[in-house]
Amino acid sequence: MAAVKNGREYLSHVTESLKRRIAQLDESIEAGQKEIEGMHEYYWENYTEMDQYGYENFDNQQALLHEINASNEKIELRRRFRKMMDSPFFGRVDFCYEGEDEPEIFYIGIANLAEENGGLPLIYDWRAPVSGLFYDYDKGPGSYKAPAGLIEGEIAAKWQYKVKNGKMVYAFESDTKIDDDILKQELGTNSDVQLKNIVRTIQKEQNAIIRNTQDRILAIQGAAGSGKTSVALHRIAYLLYHDREHLKSSNILILSPNSVFSDYISHILPELGEENIQEMSFDLFAYRELKGIVPDCEDRYDQLERTMKLQDPYLTERFEEKQLEGFVGMMEGFLASLEDELMDFRTIEYKGIQKTEEELINLFYFKFQNAPLLTRMDAIRDYCVDEYETLLGRDLSEEELLIVQNKFDKMYVTKDIYKIYGWFLEECGYPALPDVEYEKRKLEYEDVFPVLYLKYRLTGKAVHNHIKHLVIDEMQDYSPIQYKVIQKLYPCRKTILGDASQSVNPYGSSSANTIQRAFATGEIMKLCKSYRSTFEITNLAQKIQPDKKSEPVMRHGEQPDILQFKDMEGEISGIADLISTFKKSDYQSLGIVCKTEAQAKLLTERLQTICAENLHFLSNRSSVFVKGIIITSAHMAKGLEFDEVIVPQTDSKNYHSAIDRSMLYVAVTRAMHKLSLTYCGIPSLFIEV
């Protein structure tokens, strides 16, 4: 059936096609399961009589594996079709090709659907080349890039649909790209327990990022609520669709700020028809990599809590210096002179192996000069052993090899990277690391990545070549030295996103321009329009942390409440009243966002004594995002959004420094529809109006 113009009629036809495809898959999957069971039975009945060389056994195993994979693919396709039953399509483009009189009609949905495999699509995947017309053009001239080249023509009509539970909610003909009323309606809905996909409302500037395939390094600088994370995830889904031959889900890694955020976004790719991908905290990765050098490291969140509590100018300056690009240069200068300080050459003699001090120096500085410093003597040892075994025609035993290795290792003054880093700090005028045994060592957070960088420079590190695309979220919280480590480990394509205004560490934040310098290449694309919050909430956020480039969507709501209380007891009682009001509303999620985790924990304990409500305290050790009422810190709330937000203790004592301003901005910009700020005493300068 050719696509028809009546959306309701087409929905009925598509629904029947889906039912038919699902029924066919049910039959095929059932038959496949019986075939698999039969193959299992045959194997166990006959495996003792199979040929002695194992050929028949191997063939049976391969056939079984093929059948299982085929069955799994059908099960996944059925799952996708069942999901499509709820909402098969959301858009339509009537496109008249250049030189043609009648337009061709394209219905657009979350995934492709045809009457049969390989047939002409009834529904086109939102990532298909032709679907770009829906997102990028008004009625009138339009074009899209197809494998055959640029296809030009005229958009005769565009429609937007909302289908829910298989029923048409509305059908709306639009002369604009994504109609503002439709967009506002979508944005005005209540939040869910997880991040929403945005396929129905992708904007032109977002679509340009999603469909960007040419830039190896793409940095997305986006305002709070501009959809940075959603756009990045949709970009990954698009790249997987665009290059299935070379890019798999297993080739992609996301560096996310914490486990809660990983859980918050984990459903997006499966919703878009792709397998989930690996996510990890870069900090956790670093801590694991440093085992053997130090047993313990300060957590980033503990460091941040310490910084905000102490507000010590000296500690702040020291921390800042260790994040800057110049610190990397200082380390490289130290490494250039380390060769001479680290080595104590001496003649080697053992069972016919003989190398003079002069010969070893020559091998060290010339033949093996490109080998990492702490593994260079291993390379020289292997060279000498190979030479000996070749000349004498016998191999050294494991015991003999250990003796030889020990002789070569003794030429290092030390191989302890902790001690070497201590030398570097002393040379640069910083306080030395405590001279303690391994079990008592603990690195402050500011030293974690410099030590990791030093480890890779001294020992070398295998590149993670299986990762072909790296996504880095919250780019503003990474330091230049962290980007150096990342580039050494992952020299692949990258999507990097963040917002300098949301830095929880203004002393070491990285802008898009900083990142561009770190990777010596890359394109910067900006998302300036904020979609998350109402105009009134965005307006308050702009007063806290002005951003001239940020542009709010004109979706209006309540003015934020700034509530003063007599004392802390009154403020806590007032927050309890706000919670009660929330419970009576239609809102699904409430975030109570404190400046620090310590404050969030204390407030949770106090509220639990006077509230009967189920309160969830979200700490840096949490791993799951839950629906309902969440109490957390600003740095844990980054990337999350709530229908309603309460920000406690917005007084001048609690919020007064540069880092406090960033924390307050992050807290305020988590709110979608309703915002309340509470305080006792003198209000923070940041909220005075």
Burial 100-123 (b: 16+ CB within 10 A, else e): eeebebbbbbbbbbeeeeeeebbb
The answer, yes or no, to whether residue 510 has pLDDT greater than 70, is no
The answer, yes or no, to whether residue 672 has pLDDT greater than 90, is yes
Contact in structure between 182 and 174 (CB atoms under 8 Å): yes
Selection from 372, 312, 379 nearest residue 342 by Cα:
372
**Pairing mode of beta strands 353-355, 149-164:** unpaired
> Could you give the CA distance from residue 570 to residue 398 in angstroms, rounded to a whole number?
74
The answer, yes or no, to whether residue 188 has pLDDT greater than 60, is no
What percentage of the chain reaches a pLDDT higher than 90? 53
The answer, yes or no, to whether residue 442 has pLDDT greater than 90, is yes
Burial class (CB in 10 A: 0-12, 13-18, 19+), 43: middle
Q: Tell me the sheet residues that pair with 680.
A: 565
Give the pLDDT band (50/70/90) at residue 185. low
Give the pLDDT band (50/70/90) at residue 501. confident
Measured N-to-C along each axis, helices 417-427 and 325-342 cross at an angle, to the nearest 10 degrees, of 110
The answer, yes or no, to whether residue 97 has pLDDT greater than 90, is yes
The residue-averaged pLDDT of 581-602 equals 94
The answer, yes or no, to whether residue 95 has pLDDT greater than 60, is yes
Contact in structure between 332 and 619 (CB atoms under 8 Å): no
> Could you give the CA distance from residue 647 to residue 668 in angstroms, rounded to a whole number?
7
CA distances (Å), origin 441, targets 423, 437, 458: 16, 7, 20
The whole-model pTM stands at 0.85
Helix then strand then coil, in percent of the chain rounded to 5, is: 50, 20, 35
The residue-averaged pLDDT of 490-504 equals 85
For the ranges 2-6, 26-30, 257-261, the maximum mean pLDDT occurs at 26-30
Instruction: Write the CB contacts of 650 (distance below 8 Å, at least 6 apart in sequence).
Output: 562, 664, 677, 678, 679, 683, 684, 686, 687
The answer to which of 123-137, 324-338, 370-384 has the lowest mean pLDDT is: 324-338
Q: Taking all residues of the chain, what is their mean pLDDT, rounded to a whole number?
A: 87
pLDDT given for residue 15 in this prediction: 95
Give the pLDDT band (50/70/90) at residue 320. confident
pLDDT given for residue 189 in this prediction: 62
Looking at 429-468, which runs of residues are DSSP E strands? 442-443
Instruction: Using DSSP, state whether 112 is helix, strand or coil.
Output: coil
The answer, yes or no, to whether residue 269 has pLDDT greater than 80, is yes
Q: Tell me the sheet residues that pair with 150.
A: 145
The residue-averaged pLDDT of 380-385 equals 92
pLDDT given for residue 176 in this prediction: 53
Contact in structure between 107 and 3 (CB atoms under 8 Å): yes
The residue-averaged pLDDT of 526-541 equals 90
The residue-averaged pLDDT of 653-666 equals 91
Give the pLDDT band (50/70/90) at residue 657. confident
The answer, yes or no, to whether residue 179 has pLDDT greater than 60, is no
Selection from 525, 620, 439 nearest residue 211 by Cα:
525
Q: For the chain, how big is the Rg over CA atoms in Å? A: 31
pLDDT given for residue 291 in this prediction: 93
Give the pLDDT band (50/70/90) at residue 453. very high
The residue-averaged pLDDT of 388-414 equals 89
Give the residue with greater pLDDT, 270 vs 503: 270
pLDDT given for residue 124 in this prediction: 95
